[in-house]
A and B are shown apart, each in its own frame.
Chain A
């Protein structure tokens, strides 16, 4: 675009000022990238297509209470249910508390409920048939350099064993992979055989933590959920069945209104950013009133000058903002490598970019509007006379 060189030239007029403003904008969007990702994590950005077919059944009172295993076949008999599986949160520690990763005791067919997780048929078979068998996600296995066949000791924190020991030794028989980069964080987990768990634990035997139900048709999900809950109505183990997504949202909402907190912080950040860049633009335009007048004498219309100034503001925001979001991606990567915290993807997410670019353009227009308006209104004659 031939006018682009004009806009760029304007930004280069005062290089230090442009650089400082760019860095401020970058800082603001760095925060946006990270916080938006955190907000996404808490609003269950992880809902998937396959997840639409999954229901989670937990105790109505609290997911920390267990349910009897006898429910398994009764749930399977409910019309519309394709398959049922179950799991218990184990919460074991591998070597050091700092190495925390989710680990659960699950039924043999557990991974079948997650078709988007890739595990070879041989490894599935091995898991079903090995009493002390365990499968881990590729991310986790790579982090600890585990290979198939390795023995992995976990220290129990919740469930002591009948024989008094606290160490549960597992055999790694499978490593699963997830293709979707948005879901990659789920590779950070380990699952082992529920039968081993139930036999060895000192109490709570015969009870499961929760059921995962695969429905044949997602359209019937609500009806199936109600039918499942009806099985345990008025018993001492009342259940609550909801879609996987709804369950995640309900869990996350217990942490607090993360969306509100993130929103409030970003509002404060963008407010100060608008003030800062607004001031910069105002300064820049004030200095160039005579030059803008010259452009008008050459024949640039008022609206062209307005457009140039708006373009300048938006370009400033775009340049700084894109850098900020890219750096956010780098920081998120760093967090994953150093502390194992996996956030929803930033740089590879179209939604994040759309939101970010939208904000950059809107803020650019807000910031450029006032000084651009002044540019629109300036009377060439007055400007050249120095008034």
Chain B
């Protein structure tokens, strides 16, 4: 199949001492390249867990995940790390940025893992910052930026190494209405104009409206899959 992301019977069980908690049961889903998916569900439904698995931050206990044709469920920790650096960009609700680095240096972080020179890294970071509309804030530290601006810098960092997949966990959870709208509009733009595939976990239906389709999770299983007409 041509899906970018494909999971088959994916399950994840956590073991706490003698207790086994199965967080995800046999998830089967496929996400095409260029899609913008919102992952919704009540608290404890396993959406963050699913996101972490797709993003290569965690390994499943059963089933398989294939991203871009690679079976990441079979990768070791180090292999996953290497895979992540080129193929996925992350945006989290909190803690995205290193407080002691400027916006530009934060955006350059993923590029430290490549062989680019300092000048090349700077150039790419500036392009990414321009894309998210924060070129003039390049030298500011996170403490000098608003919540919305910090998230946009996080997005710039997530795309700076040009990954195909963007994984976002409640990116607007901590923002006010207007900043949230700015961030979501940016994500939409990245998806529409630059072909980025985006998977976003959110509990806010208004945020989910920005996506193409919504996946609902409840107690570890996909419930219904609602299609939304392409915007």
Are B118 and A2 in touch, CB under 8 angstroms? yes
Indicate whether A381 reaches chain B with its CB closer than 8 angstroms.
yes
Question: How far is the CB of B152 from the nearest CB of chain A, in Å?
Answer: 16
A6 touches B78 (CB 8 A): no
Q: Residues of B contacting A385 with CB < 8 Å?
A: 48
Per-residue CB proximity of A297-325 to B under 8 Å, as 1/0? 11111110000000000000000000000
Other-chain residue from B48, B95, B99, B101 in contact with A293 (beta carbon distance below 8 A) = B95
B100 touches A381 (CB 8 A): no
Q: Which of A2, A9, A384 contacts B101 (CB 8 A)?
A: A9
Q: Which residues of B contact A381 (CB under 8 A)?
A: 52, 57-58
Contact (Cβ within 8 A) A10 B100: yes
B58 to chain A: which residues have CB within 8 Å? 380-381
Contact residues in A for B90 (Cβ distance below 8 Å): 294, 297-298
CB of B84 within 8 Å of the partner chain: yes
Q: How far is the CA of A295 from the CA of B52 in the complex (A)?
A: 15
Alpha-carbon gap, A301 to B84, bound state (A):
10
Q: How far is the CA of A3 from the CA of B105 in the complex (A)?
A: 11
How far is A298 from B108 in the complex, measured between Cα atoms in Å? 11
Determine the residue in chain B with the shortest Cβ distance to A295.
B109
Chain B, residues 107-146, CB within 8 Å of chain A (1/0): the string is 0011011000010000000000000000000000000000
User: Is B109's CB under 8 angstroms from A302's CB?
Assistant: no
**Pick from A3, A294, A299, A302: contact of B98, CB under 8 Å:** A294
| Distance, CA A204 to CA B105, complexed state (A) | 82
- Residue-by-residue, is A1-33 near B (CB-CB < 8 Å gives 1, otherwise 0)? 011011001101100000000000000000000
Q: Are B78 and A302 in contact (CB under 8 A)?
A: yes
Across the two chains, which residue of chain B brings its CB closest to A12?
B100
B85 located at the interface, meaning its Cβ lies under 8 Å from any Cβ of chain A in the complex = yes
B82 at the interface (CB under 8 A from A): yes
Secondary structure class of chain A's binding surface, majority of residues: helix
CA distance A300 to B99 in the complex (A): 18
- B77 CB within 8 Å of chain A: yes
- 8 Å CB contact of A298 from B84, B99, B101: B84
B113 touches A302 (CB 8 A): no
- Report the interface size class on chain A: 20 to 34
**Residues B81 and A300 in contact, CB atoms below 8 Å apart:** yes
Q: Which residues of A contact B52 (CB under 8 A)?
A: 381
Is B195 interfacial (CB-CB < 8 Å)?
A: no
A321 to B212, CA, bound (A): 59
Q: Are A2 and B112 in contact (CB under 8 A)?
A: yes
Smallest CB separation, B53 vs chain A (Å): 10
A60 within 8 A of B: no
- Asked whether B63 is an interface residue with its Cβ less than 8 Å from the other chain, the reply is no
- Which of B57, B84, B105 interacts with A9 by CB under 8 Å? B105
Contact A301 B81 (CB under 8 A): yes
Please determine whether B95 and A291 come into contact, CB atoms closer than 8 angstroms. yes
Give the distance to chain A from B98, nearest Cβ to Cβ, in Å. 5
Which residues of chain A are within 8 angstroms of B95 by Cβ–Cβ distance? 290-291, 293-294, 384
- A374 in contact (CB, < 8 A): no
> A293 CA to B120 CA in the complex, in Å?
26
Q: In the complex, what distance in Å separates the CA atom of A9 from the CA atom of B112?
A: 15
A385 to B49, CA, bound (A): 11
- A296 within 8 Å of B (CB atoms): yes
Per-residue 0/1 for B37-72: is the Cβ within 8 Å of any A Cβ (1 yes, 0 no)?
000000000001000100101100000000000000
B147 beta carbon closer than 8 Å to chain A: no
Q: Chain B residues near A290 (CB, 8 Å)? A: 94-95
Chain B residue numbers with a CB within 8 Å of A10 are: 100
CB-CB nearest in chain A for B93: A384
Q: Please judge, given known A-B contacts A2-B118, A299-B82, whether A13 and B99 are in contact too, CB under 8 Å.
A: yes
Q: Are B112 and A384 in contact (CB under 8 A)?
A: no
Contact with A along B77-91 (1 / 0, CB 8 A): 110011111100010
Note all chain A residues with C-beta closer than 8 A to B94: 290
Contact status B96-A294, CB under 8 Å: yes
Chain B residues with CB under 8 Å of A3's CB are 112
Chain A residue numbers with a CB within 8 Å of B169 are 384
Q: Beyond A290-B94, A381-B58, is A299–B113 a contact (Cβ under 8 Å)?
A: yes
B105 CB to nearest chain A CB (Å) = 7
B residues within 8 A CB of A293? Answer: 95
- Does the CB pair B113–A300 fall under 8 Å? yes
Q: How far is the CA of A299 from the CA of B94 in the complex (A)?
A: 18
Give which listed residue, A294, A301, A380, contacts B78 with CB less than 8 A: A301
Task: Given A5-B105, A384-B95, check contact A298 B110 (CB 8 Å).
Answer: yes
- CB pair B78 A291 closer than 8 Å: no
B100 to chain A, nearest CB (A): 4
Nearest to B111 among chain A residues (CB) is: A2
Output the least CB separation between B85 and chain A (Å): 3
Residues of chain B with a CB closer than 8 A to A12's CB: 100
CA A62 – CA B154 in complex, angstroms?
A: 80
**CA–CA, A296 and B88, complex, Å:** 12
Instruction: Given A297-B57, A298-B109, A298-B110, verify A9-B85 contact (CB < 8 Å).
Output: no
Q: Could you give 22 example pairs across A and B, Cβ below 8 Å?
A: A5-B105, A9-B98, A13-B99, A290-B94, A294-B96, A294-B97, A295-B109, A297-B57, A297-B84, A298-B90, A298-B109, A298-B113, A299-B81, A299-B84, A299-B110, A300-B113, A301-B77, A301-B82, A302-B81, A303-B78, A381-B58, A384-B92
Give the A-binding residues of B (Cβ under 8 A): 48, 52, 55, 57-58, 77-78, 81-86, 90, 92, 94-101, 105, 109-110, 112-113, 118, 157, 169
Which 10 A-B residue pairings sit nearest by Cβ, starting from the closest? Answer: A299-B85, A290-B95, A9-B100, A299-B84, A301-B81, A297-B90, A13-B100, A298-B110, A381-B58, A301-B78
